[in-house]
Amino acid sequence: MAAVSLDHGLILAAILFVIGFVGLLTRRNLIVVLACIEIMLNAAGLAFVVAGARWGRADGQVMFLFVLAMAAAEVAVGLALAIRFRHSLGRLDVDDADEMKG
């Protein structure tokens, strides 16, 4: 199996991160926003794994497990938030939650 080079892995992670970030900035649906955050998290996880493989260390994969666990927790909280959001505002548009504006 041909090893994936560090550069390719990091470029892919960067592309994924930017996709997630742009989605975060442009999409207004709360579910999609959560999905974008998920993509960004996985981009960071990918960077860990690739870097760990480059130096032949297990740390990168261990970190990825942490990222996974955190992402799971985040999804649980995020989805609960989405349900409350829908309940109180009737829609899932994040721009509706602008009551804190100065």
Task: Please give the residue ranges that form the binding site for other proteins (CB under 8 A).
Answer: 21, 24-26, 28, 94-95, 97-102
- Minimum CB–partner distance for residue 2 and other proteins (Å): 30
Least gap, CB of 70 to other proteins (angstroms): 19
Q: Enumerate residues 6+ apart whose C-beta is below 8 A from 48.
A: 59, 60, 61, 63, 64, 67
The nearest distance, CB 75 to other proteins, in angstroms, is 18
3-state helix vs strand vs coil in the chain, percent to 5: 80, 0, 20
Is the CB of 18 or the CB of 62 nearer to other proteins? Answer: 18
